[in-house]
Amino acid sequence: MTTSHYGPAAGAAASSPLYRALCVRSGNVIALGMQKVASVNCAGMTLFRVFQGNVEVLGFQPPLGVYFSYFSLHSPKWDNLLVIEGRPGNEETQAPFGPNNASLLQVMEPNLPPEAVNEDEEIAADRLAMQLVEDFPIVLVFRTIPVTYGNVMSFYENTRPEKPPSVLPGFKMIVSKHNQNVLSEFTADFDLTSAAPPNTDLLHHDWKTPERVLAELVVVDSFKTLNITEAWQSTVDKLQASLLEENPMSQKIVVCGGKGVGKSTFCRYMLNRLLAKFGTVAFLDTDLGQSELTPSGLVALHAMTTPLLGPGFSHMKNPIRSFFCGNTNPGNDPLYYMKAVKSLLRLYKVKWGNQNNDNARDES
């Protein structure tokens, strides 16, 4: 379901700044401080991590800890935008980014090129984030995702080619036209057409003030955001409670319905919610026509440990095992289709069926 969203923290009290943004020299990493009542309407693609505080996006609440790294987010401008919303609660500070986090990111996002994360830049970003922790209960770090043929559909940049590059290319915070006056408060009416200081290298961005960084990051435009209904929230609350109360391995969740009712979005939301309670979510995808994690024509079993923050094409995964059915409709060979699904169910039982206390779930 979608709804109009009239900008970050619409109607929130303006007694203190809702946002403040700082960037590293390359402009590829930004530290963003925000209040708990604020939100970020995401357009484009980015990696993000929580340095301090608690947020939620599509049901997922990123954890804090030494072993947690960036999470990839893809929110194409032409789709319903994902929203990072501030949440009350934990205000602890994340451990500094280190080699373990970089290694974990390569495991979590194997399609990222090695140069996507620069440890020196991460150290610089942590220093910038520390400048925000006193004034903002939530501090996020955003990093640019390099453009490839596989993700170019998510890339969002509204600056003209002849203009100097802006910070965090490929990603923008969207503010509704109804709230254009709020943008002036965020950026102190900063004029983006103003020239850089003399003898400044335009490829460097660390000379930019917080107001300019925010002005380059925020765009006024019309849009719609993805909205999770109360019915969906209530349903997942009940499912999660049932899984926690009873033997988890005796329960499986089947998601089915007609075309265009939101099955894929509901699966992403539910999986993201379950990851908060269980380390692994077993995902059995039997939709040949619109597979969530693989190309069409496959039935596949996945062991999910990271959230799904974007449309299906943005998070293709290597399955534990898959079967190619040769068509987008099981009617082409229903017997083979059923045998393939049964084989994957048997594999699921082999891997997790005998572990009564294992933290795994099955969705299809």
> Domain with 289 in it: what CATH number?
3.40.50.300
Residues 287 and 173 in one domain: no
Residues 313 and 258 in one domain: yes
Residues 197 and 234 in one domain: no
Cβ atoms of 176 and 223 closer than 8 Å: yes
Distance in Å from the first CA to the final CA of the chain = 21
Distance from C-alpha of 53 to C-alpha of 39, rounded to nearest angstrom? 13
Shortest CA distance to 285 belongs to which of 197, 206, 362? 362
Q: Do the strands 29-34 and 298-304 form a parallel or antiparallel pair, or are they unpaired?
A: unpaired
Whole-prediction pTM value?
A: 0.84
Is 363 within the bounds of a domain? no
Question: Span 312-341, mean pLDDT?
Answer: 91
Residues 209 and 237 in one domain: no
* Distances from the Cα of 41 to the Cα of 45, 105, 172, angstroms: 12, 24, 8
Is 57 within the bounds of a domain? yes
Is 62 within the bounds of a domain? yes
pLDDT tens, 206-240? 778 898 899 889 988 888 999 899 999 999 999 99
Q: What total number of domains does the chain contain?
A: 2
Residues 141 and 206 in one domain: yes
Residues 186 and 300 in one domain: no
Shortest CA distance to 46 belongs to which of 152, 169, 214? 169
User: What is the pLDDT of the chain when averaged over all its residues?
Assistant: 82
Is 357 within the bounds of a domain? no
Is 41 within the bounds of a domain? yes
- Predicted confidence band of residue 103 (pLDDT cuts 50, 70, 90): confident
Is 126 within the bounds of a domain? yes
Residues 56 and 160 in one domain: yes
Residue 206: per-residue pLDDT: 78
Is 4 within the bounds of a domain? no
Residues 299 and 182 in one domain: no
Instruction: Name which residue leads in pLDDT, 279 or 154.
Output: 279
Instruction: Name which residue leads in pLDDT, 128 or 164.
Output: 128
Distance from C-alpha of 30 to C-alpha of 217, rounded to nearest angstrom? 10
Q: Can you give the residue range of the structural domain that contains 291?
A: 230-245+252-351
Cβ atoms of 136 and 34 closer than 8 Å: yes
- Predicted confidence band of residue 11 (pLDDT cuts 50, 70, 90): very low
pLDDT tens, 69-87? 789 999 998 889 999 999 8
Q: Which two tokens stand for residue 248?
A: 């988890």
